[in-house]
Homo-oligomer: A and B are copies of this chain.
Amino acid sequence: MANSLNVAVVGATGAVGEAMIGILEQRSFPVGCLFPLASERSAGSTINFRGKSIEVKRLDEFDFSSIDVGLFSAGGSVSAVFAPKAASSGCVVVDNTSYFRNDPEIPLVVPEVNAHAIDGHDGIIANPNCSTIQMVVALKPIYDAVGISRINIATYQAVSGAGKRAIAELGQQSVELLNGRPVSPIVMPKQIAFNVLPHIDEFQENGYTREEMKMIWETQKILGDDTICINPTCVRVPVFYGHSEALHIETREKITAKAVRELLQAAPGVVVIDKCEPGGYPTPVSDGADCDGVYVGRIREDVSCAQGINMWVVSDNIRKGAALNSVQIAEHLFKSV
């Protein structure tokens, strides 16, 4: 990898931006200079990187011409304006918003699954949605071995996927309720403490939410296969970090649970935790917070379908689901420099 790259992190004070900066340091990404960027409101604050304090600068006044890679995670409307500007200055943008994901000209990449797609980039590479990333990492070895015709999905998504204010809201509501005081939702559409909400992102005309449709569009694009039928229900649960997913998969050829277990044990980025005993499965608290893997358990043959496989997939939505995947894309970009 290159000896020294100038890296900008856009949205540096958000939950994902902070994780990006930590991961750049932990993985010894060859950062020459780091430029944490944010809106006018957050500019002037500082972040820590390699033991030094660095001031957060204003994105709208920043010149990207000396920047090698920009990791963007400040919302779709910010990326819409500033990612093309940065790219035209010669900076390669890895964009963690949904803004460019469905653009056929822009690669949508999970390195364990379709790193080859990076080569086709023209200045912007899109990072998929958190719930899609962990799913396709776990699906890819099965897809390659026996094909996949259909997936029924139910998600159990952490509040950190909705940002720092949602994390605070879950904590605050829990405290209030445990003290016998009433709560009113502010960030979430309804009370999230001790509750579950079948609603993430906006409702679409077909009755699905945008989060659910993202899982369909993005999975088909990443696997390069629009014949896969995908049917998600996405649900927010009162968990701080770590998304979980119940995947009910139908394969094109029969595969046993044992064979799936072996495939996944050998797969990059996957950790199998699968014993038929109490605790013998991944959960967000033990495996979804501050962990880098995609953890898979409850692997079993579907009793209702000859070519069905069920599994349970857990991953840290802020790390593999966002910040880590973006940094991995950047590593791939510059590995031959």
Partner-B contacts on A (CB < 8 A): 150-152, 154, 156, 170-171, 174-175, 178, 189-191, 194-199, 203-208, 216, 229-231, 233, 235, 237-240, 244, 246, 248, 257, 276-279, 281, 283-286, 297-305, 308, 310, 312
Contact = CB atoms under 8 A, between A and B. Distances in A.
Nearest to A208: B300
Contacts of A285: 190-191, 194-195
Contact of A199 (B197, B216, B281, B284): B281
A237 B203 contact: no
B195 A248 contact: no
A215 to B, nearest CB: 11
Nearest to A275: B203
A205 B257 CA distance: 12
Given A196-B244, A231-B304, 18 more contacts: A152-B304, A154-B246, A156-B237, A175-B178, A190-B286, A191-B285, A194-B238, A196-B284, A198-B297, A198-B298, A198-B312, A199-B279, A207-B257, A216-B303, A231-B308, A233-B246, A233-B312, A237-B237
A132 to B, nearest CB: 15
* Copies of this protein, total: 2
A100 to B, nearest CB: 23
Contacts of A308: 231
A233 B156 CA distance: 12
11 contacts: A152-B248, A154-B246, A170-B194, A189-B279, A190-B286, A194-B285, A195-B283, A196-B284, A198-B283, A208-B300, A237-B238
A288 to B, nearest CB: 9
